[in-house]
Structure 1
Amino acid sequence: MSDQPAGDKGRVGPGFAETVSLLALLTSLVALSIDAMLPALQEIGQDLGTKDPNDNQLIVIVLFLGMAIGQILYGPLSDSFGRKRPIYAGLGIFMLGSLLSFISWDFQSMLLGRFLQGLGAAGPRIVAIALVRDQYEGRAMARLMSFVMAVFILVPAIAPALGQGILLFADWRAIFLSFVCLAMVVTVWFFLRQDETLAQDKRLPFSLSHLVAGLRDCLSNRVAVGYILAAGFVFGAFIGYLSTAQQIFQQQYELGEKFPLFFAVLALAIGAASLVNARLVMKLGMRYLSMRAVISMIVLSTAFTVYAALHGDTPPLWIYMLFFSVVFFCIGLLFGNFNALAMEPLGHIAGLASAVIGSLTTFISLGLGMVIGQAYDGTVVPLVAGFAILSCAALAAMVWADRTASR
């Protein structure tokens, strides 16, 4: 395969470094929107009149809901209308949601704004990957995507620090204004430097029946369903962590403005695991690594739940950090492998299946993550117990899927 772009070879477009930067920004809007807000959740809830501190978690949860709906729509739309228009639409919806959150007058208007942010940010994240496939192939595509993912991994580590930095000079509304400014810069940059990459003769007519058929194919394949469930269970535990991270770090452990530092350490554990997985998966296989990662999570989470319950429900911070560093390393091994295992039997509808799998996984995880978050009672026990229970559920789903595959 050629290492040259697969698109218009006569056009002088953005160079490699510029392409990486542009695509990394497009795909990182979701992570930035989630994590940069975490230091401000308590302040937002107080200003908008929430009665229960756990209600502030909905500011995170609702964004995932918008993203879940958006994932299943943007892929088919980009196959029908080209890559650029869905990205523009997503960026526009994202800016509208950011503006609504910026001017929000009550908690309901904030949640609507966050939903629109998630719905909009899903577009650039999903379609940017297709845009890369249009332009590059072979080793060039692999090289470019590796750099994009390296930047993507760093965003969750630095986003809370960015949010905390803004709070040092302004109130929480300035964070949403920064989202609008960033999206405007990306939109103009994308408009000026990126051409359409999907030729007119390669576009497919948009069909709701095609979307329904793809959903039916996914749900009728037991291997795909098993790993969608497993991914949903594990990601549900992770959403439970995201929902309660601000309360646990800033209130329970009283870390205050140091919260972003500790959050970054745990985020980097996931990134490190992704790099390790890339090296080990070819030698050991996706199922081998995934099974051992899930079993490790079960053992660690069960033991830590008992330890926390017996030691005043608030274990020493260093033990809490050590536990989650190892657990998040396991999660980093699982994210890519679960998605690939679910996709394995669906190669005939790969593009649509990717959107369906991502959407279904997010929908499953939303409800579970909300249950864990709303169970927060000032201790770490509900969160850690949630990891133990959902890891067991993920293991059961994997065993069921693998037994089906071996028949």
Structure 2
Amino acid sequence: MAERSETVGERVYRLRTQRGMTQRQVAAPAYTAAYVSTVEAGKVRPSQKALHHLADRLGVDSRELLTGQPAHLATGLRLGLTGAQHTLATGDTAEAARAFAGLLAEAEEYELTEESAAAQLGLGECALESGDLAQAHTSFEAAERLLSEAAPARRAPAVRGRAVAHLLAGELRYSCYLLENALDELNNSGHHDPDALLLLYTAAIAPYLDMGAHARAAHAAEQALSLAPSATDSARVAAMHRSVARTLLAENRIPEADASLAKAAELYRGLRLRTELAHCHWMRGYVHAQSGGLEAAEREMRTAREMLTAKRATLYAEQVEVELADVVRRRGRTGEARELLRGVLATAGQERAAVHAGAAHRLLGLIAQEAGELEEAEEHYVSALSLLERAGAAGDLADVCRLLGDLLRRAGRPEAAMDAYRTGLGPRMTRGVTTLGPAPAAPPA
């Protein structure tokens, strides 16, 4: 294959010698051998007419002769990217990652920016599914760099990917910061792009809720719902319905949340997006658990775990197991719940899934406390507090601090209990990583 630094003249020389042709044969009948010699030496750049003549004589497309890119390369790469995305949605994540990596290498060889960025986005999504958050950060940041000169709407998927990776790593405030900045840039750019706005508002709901910023989450959900009729991407509309269900659950609007999840599931089935459909089963399990239907909740969550495990979506499967353990505990099978949670903590590193790891410690603390193992309960609550405080998950942090404070108060340690209560009332803010002041600018009417 041609080197990227190869000039047109060098390319003419290489192709001519590969075919065993003389300069006179390439030049005839419209040009002279001397002219071909000056082109090959780089002393003259061929005109468009001469370029077409030389390409025809050498048996290549004129674009290939000019740029070194084989004919229809970009089209073939785009078809390959579509195939890899389909594999990611319905098949093996590792296989999809190999396909994206091969496509990226080919796109980079010929300096195809758009296709390189799309391949990096695909690799980032594969990394999210497999739980490799470091690789996800690398790929999404590379995609954003490649698109640095593009319109804000083109960069939206890369920003959303970075934000999700930070969310899964427990860096909620930075996740919000990225999304808020991107939304403000997009809304103030004057280019109304419903699909990009829908993607970003939808992505903002989860970190807002985990931080306890329920009003901000509700605002993002309202904006997303208003954009949905104008959006053209069905997968993004489905993701919106799934995320909006979380805000409805937070407001205890159970029937509406279930209806929103049903809409999302219907769209995901039509699109054959198995990971996203698994998320719908997961959330419907949570809906059932909230309304006391523990048997149905366990059934939905086990379905979600099986689907995610089959897709090798390791990190998401671990998160489901935490909530499944809570359902199992509430059904009286504390031993099974404890084993599930210990399994999650054994595989989940401290650098990822801080919110769910914190939830696992909280549940283990409850189980230990119910069994009268108070020292073990305290250890788990303290571990949960550390993880949730670092993540900025204010709502969950307040709950753990209440549990720890109550435990310490009953143990006759009032000063330590007061410290725990104070921690829950005033979670520390990391400066400079999110505004959480005025809401992101609303899209133009």
**TM-score normalised by L of structure 2:** 0.22
Which structure has the higher relative contact order (CA within 8 Å, separation 6+)?
1
Question: Where is the helix percentage greater, Structure 1 or Structure 2?
Answer: 1
**TM-score normalised by L of structure 1:** 0.23
